[in-house]
Structure 1
Amino acid sequence: MDDSKNDNGPLVYINGKRFDLPTDRPEYTLLHFLRENGLTGTKLGCGEGGCGACTVMVSRWNAPAGEARHAAVNACLCPLYAVEGAHVVTVEGLGSSRRGLHPVQSALAQAHGSQCGFCTPGFVMSMYALLRSKGAQRPTAAEVEEALSGNLCRCTGYRPILEAFRSFTLDDGPRGRDYAADCLRRLEGLSWDAEAKSGRERAASGAGICPSSGLPCDCGARDGLAGEDGENDEESAKGESERRGEAGRGACCSKDGQRRTAARAQAAEPIFPPMLTRRPIRALALEGRTSTWHRPLTLEGLLEIVAAHPEARIVGGNTEVGIETKFKNKIYAHLVDPRHVPELQGVRLSPPRGPDGPGSVTFGAAASLTEVLEASRRLATSLPPRSRGTVAALAAQLALFAGPPVRNVATLG
């Protein structure tokens, strides 16, 4: 949708496109909204955040850091209004067999990591979110395994999936470095135009033209698409590609052709919408038939809502309220999202009171379990041995609690 529209209403960006949200659907989950809008690659499996088939990546702008933060999230539990002002990327936003596969998708296919395919979009999005959250760094094999711990597969036994995604790590040798470098180059913005220009230069040196992509490659297609003088005819190849139609695109018998058609998918890979870097987060009070969704931005505002509606339920990751409303048919008239209240966010460290006195750690009630886990791990390695026992035990326990898509939104409070 057009960014020039009035942005005072609730909105979300999905795969780089703006969607204005309905104002009377507090009971909706993100999964409901995605599938109603034709994005059916995100699957409904268990409906309670246990299988990972509905995994998507949610990106939010972190103004103090001046960057977007990315996290895998279970769309089946995520309330629709919880992603207001965020950017959601689904498996459709990465690539397809028609316009070229993303390296994450391609690696999984080449390793035979998909059988029935129902869980595949969730695995792809969990791995993609890990790569985006790591930025220029490459994940370790242990980080890949942890990132996939919230996804279930009943077909493959997991081995081909892990082998596919280990290829993005430095642990897996030269092949891993090549895969990771290719993916990182794409995330950094390698353009299809640059690939096409490089291809034309290769054509001038005698390379063939692929009838599938219409670009130079070494698949041997030039024998069937040569001009009357026997030379390569790029325009003829492109015309043949058009005559073959969309069904004939995106496949090539050479690795070089696969790389080039994959670059086409990269050109459409959604970036974080610039508009969201300028749009401030707003307080919300959206009333539906049975519930009202509140999003206060201050502690005073939160206390006022709770005072006016003592029966209101605080919703962090929706891992409890969502189960109660979905499977126990409970109805809550007022739902309150506390995650934008500064006093309830993050993890704060207090220095020791004296040379031998202990310091303290304050976990915000709206801090995600992932934030708590990462902070506990850092403290467990930085504190002296006699002071690290509690945070080390907390980190070990949280690492076994659910999977990253749940921990990324579930809160302590």
Structure 2
Amino acid sequence: KIDGMMPKDAGVQKDLYLFVNGKEYNLRPMQDFQPDQTLLTWLRSVGLTGTKLGCGEGGCGACTVSSSHYDSISQKVVHRAVNACITPVCAMEGCHVVTVEGIGNSRIGLHPVQKRLSDKHGSQCGFCTPGFVMSMYSLLRNNPTPNEHEVEHSIDGNLCRCTGYRPILEAFKTFCPAEPHTDTNKSNGCCNGAAQVPYNASAEMEFPLQLLPAKYVARDLQLQGSRCTWYRPTALSSLLALKAQFPTAKIVVGNSELEIERKFRSSNWEVLVCTTHVPEMNELRNAVNGVHIGSAVTLSRIYDHLSQLVSTKEAHSTYNFKAMLQQLRWFAGTPIRNVAAIGGNICNASPISDLNPVLMAARAVFTLVKVDGTTREISARDYFKERMYRQTHLGPDELLLSVFVPETKPLEFSQGYKVSRRRDDDIAIVTAGLRVRLEQKPEGLVVVDCGFAYGGMAASSVNARKTEEFLIGKTLSHELIRQALEVLPDDLPLADNAPGGMIEFRKTLSASFLFKFGIFVLQQVSPAAVDPAEQSAATPYSRPVSSGLQHYTETG
């Protein structure tokens, strides 16, 4: 029986327990905070104004802080850079939040990240500086000796509008001991070129003992405010009970979409249910023929797990995983990926989703759970109501439980594609997931199965069904690719006044993705069949480590 909001005997916690910069807080709803309040507004209300409000939607990184928690799976403390402007303060229950004030200042001494950024003149107006500092701090807490690619990757969610990125990167790359940049350590009189003291991770603030398993056990949360009530169930049964009582409750994990709707579209919800502590929704489990991903698993965890699978499994079995990695690499910025879950991306059903077309093409399977505990499976390609904006076949009494992504078979290939105005931290113009399975027959390599799905070409992610049907049973060749390009426009019609504009450009992009994929597949199975002039079409995008120079004249 549910009495009020949660079962009486559930041991429900009704206050918010967290640490900030080593200080313990027990916060009471309505008195100390509101459940729909962001971490940023709460931090600034208690005087921690080093964390800045920039875009307010997780796009610029000025609000970045570090959130640490004990991970029971890896059995270690995990440090994450998060966007405080969209992170609910309630989501920090059981966490240690560290802001720029907590790591150092001019009175007590600067943290090495702050000091090196200052020495390298990486701050001009200073508004973005706290966010950059905390992104780098979070990286160092997890990995004290990062390489240069990891440094650049860690700040892909931070924007600077003054200095450019050269001095910032020069400062942060001094933490890469294996890859010294002698040019950045030269002193010509105006820049500090002294040798850097190696970073000492043991000097950092310790994770609070009160948040380790010996003293802290996560409990169901019920935080009732004047505008809404926040729940955090710790069991699937509790989650389903809440869903039964509040069928219109909003499910929250990273809050990256909901906060934008609340802040910029004046949306409000009386009931918010956080699924970050439901075990079944946070599971990453390898199967014989694929991988099961819980709907609340964050994109960063998925990226790390799939990267490990790609490096350890036979290459032919990992093409679907590689296609997902291709999309995840350029998905928003690191602070977003650290909190956003795959389930949110699926259930929001954005027509320009990065991941959904890949899942559709890969023949991924979604497991849905009803409030009575029964489950059903639905193919990703059939989950979205085609050409209907943000509409799915998820029932009002159902939740997305997990996602199964199958391995690829021999002679099966899969790729993910995305074009946006910039590579990092930007929304897509057109995305695609393309997959084909071939079989050797007397007449050659014949297409026996394929999946082509696109985002940005309709009011939903769509399957290119006519193109798929056209290819089935035909022998792979350059001419077949050309013929398929003539069929594709029938699958992806765009009216001249379609939302988003750039009609001809989007049509061209969709065709170019199919062409690139065709050339890629030909290169894998018959390299001699590819015209040398077209070989570069199959070359994946790869960005080298950034470098830059500043020329100046000494005076005085």
Give the TM bin, normalised by the shorter chain.
Answer: 0.7 to 0.9
**Aligned residue identity for 1:37:** V
Q: Residues 167-178 of structure 1 correspond to what in structure 2 (within 5 A)?
A: 167-173=174-180
Structure 2 CA distance for aligned equivalents of residues 290 and 67 of structure 1:
36
Structure 2 CA distance for aligned equivalents of residues 22 and 48 of structure 1:
26
Residue 23 of structure 1 pairs with residue 22 of structure 2: no
Aligned to 2:202: 188
Structure 1 CA distance for aligned equivalents of residues 258 and 336 of structure 2:
14
Structure 1 CA distance for aligned equivalents of residues 218 and 54 of structure 2:
32
Aligned to 2:207: 272
Q: Residues 114-153 of structure 1 correspond to what in structure 2 (within 5 A)?
A: 114-134=123-143, 137-153=144-160
- Aligned counterpart for 1:81 among listed residues 90, 95, 106: 90
Structure 1 CA distance for aligned equivalents of residues 266 and 130 of structure 2:
29
Q: Structure 1: any 5+ residue segments left out of the alignment? A: 1-6, 190-268, 352-358
How many residues are paired up?
317
Q: 3-state SS of the aligned residue for 1:139?
A: coil
Residues 167 and 179 in structure 1, CA contact (< 8 A), matched pair in contact too = no
Q: 3-state SS of the aligned residue for 1:153?
A: coil
Q: Structure 2: any 5+ residue segments left out of the alignment? A: 1-12, 186-193, 344-556
Aligned to 2:41: 32
**Aligned residue identity for 2:308:** R
Give TM-score, length-normalised by structure 1: 0.74
Larger strand share, 1 or 2? 2
**Aligned residue identity for 1:386:** H
Aligned to 1:13: 19
Q: 3-state SS of the aligned residue for 2:136?
A: helix
- Aligned counterpart for 2:173 among listed residues 166, 170, 178: 166
Provide, for residues 187-241 of structure 1, a one-character-per-residue CA deviation record: whole Å limited to 9, x for no partner.
213xxxxxxxxxxxxxxxxxxxxxxxxxxxxxxxxxxxxxxxxxxxxxxxxxxxx
**Aligned residue identity for 2:208:** P
Pick closer, same or farther for the CA change 1:52–1:158 going to 2, 3 Å. Answer: same
Provide, for residues 58-85 of structure 1, a one-character-per-residue CA deviation record: whole Å limited to 9, x for no partner.
0001245442111000000000100011
Residues 18 and 96 in structure 2, CA contact (< 8 A), matched pair in contact too = yes
Residues 285 and 294 in structure 1, CA contact (< 8 A), matched pair in contact too = yes
Larger helix share, 1 or 2? 1
Pick closer, same or farther for the CA change 1:179–1:276 going to 2, 3 Å. Answer: farther
Q: 3-state SS of the aligned residue for 2:180?
A: helix
Residues 55 and 74 in structure 1, CA contact (< 8 A), matched pair in contact too = yes
Residues 103 and 182 in structure 1, CA contact (< 8 A), matched pair in contact too = no
**Aligned residue identity for 2:210:** M
Aligned to 1:303: 240
Residues 14 and 223 in structure 2, CA contact (< 8 A), matched pair in contact too = no
Q: 3-state SS of the aligned residue for 2:68?
A: strand
Q: 3-state SS of the aligned residue for 1:106?
A: helix
Structure 2 CA distance for aligned equivalents of residues 91 and 393 of structure 1:
36
Let me know the Cα RMSD of the aligned residues: 1.9
Aligned to 1:368: 298
- Aligned counterpart for 1:329 among listed residues 256, 266, 269: 266
Q: Residues 168-317 of structure 1 correspond to what in structure 2 (within 5 A)?
A: 168-173=175-180, 182-183=198-199, 185=200, 187-189=201-203, 269-277=204-212, 278-317=215-254
**Aligned residue identity for 1:334:** V
Residues 310 and 322 in structure 2, CA contact (< 8 A), matched pair in contact too = yes
Identity of paired residues, percent?
47
Structure 2 CA distance for aligned equivalents of residues 64 and 151 of structure 1:
29
Aligned to 1:247: none
**How far is the alpha carbon of 1:180 from its aligned partner?**
7.8
Structure 2 CA distance for aligned equivalents of residues 8 and 297 of structure 1:
14
**How far is the alpha carbon of 1:271 from its aligned partner?**
1.6
- Aligned counterpart for 1:97 among listed residues 100, 106, 110: 106
Give TM-score, length-normalised by structure 2: 0.55
**How far is the alpha carbon of 1:174 from its aligned partner?**
8.2
Residues 141 and 171 in structure 1, CA contact (< 8 A), matched pair in contact too = no
Aligned to 2:77: 68
Aligned to 1:221: none
Residues 68 and 78 in structure 2, CA contact (< 8 A), matched pair in contact too = yes
Residues 67 and 81 in structure 2, CA contact (< 8 A), matched pair in contact too = yes
Provide, for residues 19-40 of structure 1, a one-character-per-residue CA deviation record: whole Å limited to 9, x for no partner.
2223131110100110000000
- Aligned counterpart for 1:109 among listed residues 112, 118, 128: 118
- Aligned counterpart for 1:156 among listed residues 154, 163, 176: 163
Aligned to 2:318: 388
Residue 400 of structure 1 pairs with residue 330 of structure 2: yes
Residue 54 of structure 1 pairs with residue 70 of structure 2: no
Pick closer, same or farther for the CA change 1:334–1:179 going to 2, 3 Å. Answer: farther
Pick closer, same or farther for the CA change 1:8–1:285 going to 2, 3 Å. Answer: closer
Q: 3-state SS of the aligned residue for 1:167?
A: helix
Structure showing greater relative contact order (alpha-carbon pairs closer than 8 Å, 6 or more residues apart): 1
